[in-house]
Amino acid sequence: MRFGPQQTPPLMDQKTHVFLEGAFAPAECRRLIADGAPVPVEPGQLIGGEEARGVRHCKVRWLPEGEEFAWINDRLIDIVAVQNREHFNFDLWGIDERLQLLDYEGDESGFFDWHSDRGRAGFAKVRKLSISVQLSDPANYAGGALELNPAGTIIEAPRSIGTATIFASNILHRVAPVTKGQRHALTAWFHGPHFR
């Protein structure tokens, strides 16, 4: 499935990120948290499977493929197809990795320090667009801001429930430590041919 013709990596004058409030309804966010709760939990790791609690400390649920979560894949594809066409114009073939449901716990100071989603091998090498969906009501936690740093200036993503943040996967970003409560998020990556 191709989303756009261009192979050029993001430049400073190109769009690097989009905030789309209301991408998921609050009831859908609550449903996703509830439906994902039985999925086994793993510690958050870095690209390549390395566990580094000084860089990332959260709980990860890799959502299984199948009918139960197919609606989420469909929604993300619809969202990214439009945003890619309007803002990024990357050549994408779809989602090749399972979706991540993330839990950042306040009593554990859950966080993910500055990083990029692109890597040197495997699926990470062909990640082109990242999407993070805010599932928690912002009243239910403190701290935990999703921050992007596309060009030396930190930009905080909106905290409203159901907001999707779509950004070029090579952009530096982080989740600041959660200091109270619990923050839930959904993340996915859209893949495509190597930039030329």
- Establish if 196 belongs to a structural domain: no
pLDDT by residue (tens digit) across 101-124? 999 999 999 999 999 999 888 888
* Better-scored residue on pLDDT, 194 or 123: 123
Which residues, other chains included, contact 167 with Cβ-Cβ below 8 Å and sequence gap of 6+? 16, 17, 18, 129, 130, 131, 148, 150, 173
- pLDDT > 70 fraction of the chain, expressed in percent and rounded: 88
pLDDT by residue (tens digit) across 133-179? 999 999 999 999 999 999 899 999 999 999 999 999 999 999 999 99
Residue from 28, 29, 27, 31 nearest 136 by CA: 29
Tell me what pLDDT residue 55 has. 82
- Establish if 12 belongs to a structural domain: no
- Establish if 42 belongs to a structural domain: yes
Domain that holds residue 71: 17-191
Token readout for 10 is 């993001």
Location of structure tokens 């999925």: 39
CB 135 within 8 A of CB 141: no
Q: How many domains does the chain have?
A: 1
- Establish if 113 belongs to a structural domain: yes
pLDDT greater than 60 at residue 2: no
CB 59 within 8 A of CB 102: yes
pLDDT greater than 90 at residue 24: yes
* Better-scored residue on pLDDT, 14 or 59: 59
- pLDDT > 90 fraction of the chain, expressed in percent and rounded: 76
Residue 89 amino acid letter: N
Token readout for 73 is 């894949």
- Establish if 157 belongs to a structural domain: yes
- Establish if 11 belongs to a structural domain: no
- Establish if 101 belongs to a structural domain: yes
- Establish if 4 belongs to a structural domain: no
Q: Is the dihedral of CA 35, 168, 3, 46 positive or negative?
A: negative
Across the range 48-57, mean pLDDT stands at 69
* Domain of residue 61, CATH code: 2.60.120.620
